Amino acid sequence: MQVQPDDFPRLMASLGENTRTVIPFHFLIRRRAQVWADDDWANVVIQTETSEPVAFIFGDDAEWQAELISRLPCMRLYWCPDETVDSLLEPVGTVYGEEAMLEPGIQRTVDDHVHISPPDEVQLRRLARADLPLLEHCSPDLMWLRNSWLSWEELLEDGIVIAALADGQLVSAAVTYARAAWLDDIGVATDPAYQSRGLSSACAAMMVGELFAAGRQPVWSVFLSNTPSL
């Protein structure tokens, strides 16, 4: 059955806020998702309403999950449980071929804050609304950082952006990619021309400090195939 937005709070209470639910909860809180569940809500699929939808799959009934997924439009990514990923590979591959990526991920809480200084020629600071032009003219390689928000403006208003600036240009950033009640998933990206200088690490470290100071819990989520981030 399809779960209606008025039932999203009850669904979130059932799933519980944790490292695996922080990203889908970001969309449920803002009612920017479509949700399907079995009768007792033991198996759930949450599809984000974004330009490139992502499916977050919960539960251990691979047969139910595969049947539902086969009836939905193809999504770019399927974030699935370790217990059912092998069972879902065949039905997803049969329907969508190589268009979709289906794999489990790793989610970790960040429990320590270590200060990392950027190179002397790089300025590191939190951006404010007046810095919007920096984001609007950033490298295409950083544009995905706002994928879970309607706009850069919304991210600046309701989230946090830590930027590394070189020659007045935004060259690296860490953002609150997803925000739940008290967990924040961190997204980080660096312009390829400025990689291997420790900028992503410096931005992420400052972000962790900001979140700890606000009494919130940083989370780092990554697909197993994203080896540089592991």
- Same domain membership, residue 127 and residue 81: no
Could you give the CA distance from residue 22 to residue 148 in angstroms, rounded to a whole number? Answer: 12
Cα–Cα distance for residue pair 95/187, rounded to 1 Å = 30
In the predicted structure, residue 35 carries a pLDDT above the cut 80: yes
Domain range for 80 is 2-103
With beta carbons less than 8 A apart as the criterion, state whether 37 and 43 touch.
Answer: yes
pLDDT for the residue 222:
67
- Boundary residue ending a domain (69, 103, 137): 103
Mean pLDDT confidence for 34-55:
92
pLDDT in tens, 138-173: 999 999 999 999 999 999 999 999 999 999 999 999
pLDDT confidence of residue 121: 92
- Asked whether residue 111 is domain-assigned, the answer is no
CB atoms within 10 A of CB 4: 9
Per-residue confidence (pLDDT) for residue 100, from 0 to 100: 53
Q: Return d(Cα 71, Cα 106) in angstroms, integer.
A: 27
Residue 17: what pLDDT? 96
pLDDT score for 227: 44
Structure token pair of residue 211: 């979140």
pLDDT range class, residue 118, cuts 50, 70, 90: confident
Burial pattern 106-131, b for ≥16 Cβ within 10 A else e, equals: ebeebeeeeeeebeeebebeebeeeb
User: What's the confidence (pLDDT) of residue 108?
Assistant: 63
Please name the residue that has the structure tokens 């949700």: 35
Final residue of a structural domain among 103, 138, 156? 103
Last residue of a domain, one of 55, 71, 103: 103
pLDDT grade for 208, boundaries at 50, 70 and 90:
very high
Residues 73 and 146 in one domain: no
201 and 129 in a common domain: yes
Inside any domain, residue 109: no
108 part of a folded domain: no
Please check the confidence at residue 103 and state whether its pLDDT lies above 70.
Answer: no
User: In this structure, are 130 and 211 located in the same domain?
Assistant: yes
Structural domain count, the chain = 2
Q: What is the mean pLDDT of residues 198-221?
A: 94
Q: Are residues 148 and 211 in the same domain?
A: yes
CATH code of residue 144: 3.40.630.30
Integer Cα distance of 46 and 25 in angstroms: 9
pLDDT tier, 131 (very low <50, low <70, confident <90, very high otherwise)? very high
- Neighbouring C-alpha atoms within 13 Å toward the C-beta of 97: 1
Asked if pLDDT for residue 104 goes beyond 90, the answer is no
- Higher-pLDDT residue of 225 and 28 is 28
Query: In one letter, which amino acid is 167?
Result: D
Kindly state whether residues 91 and 182 are assigned to the same domain.
Answer: no
pLDDT, residue 186, reads: 96
Question: Phi then psi for 221, rounded to 5 degrees?
Answer: -115, 140
Q: Model confidence over 51-98: pLDDT tens digits?
A: 888 889 999 888 888 888 878 776 667 777 777 777 777 666 655 555
Gap between the Cα atoms of 191 and 170, Å rounded: 8
Distance CA 217, CA 61 (A): 31
Strand boundaries in the chain, DSSP class E: 2-3, 33-37, 44-48, 54-58, 77-79, 101-103, 105-109, 123-126, 161-166, 169-179, 183-190, 217-223
Share of the chain above pLDDT 90, in %: 63
199 within some domain: yes
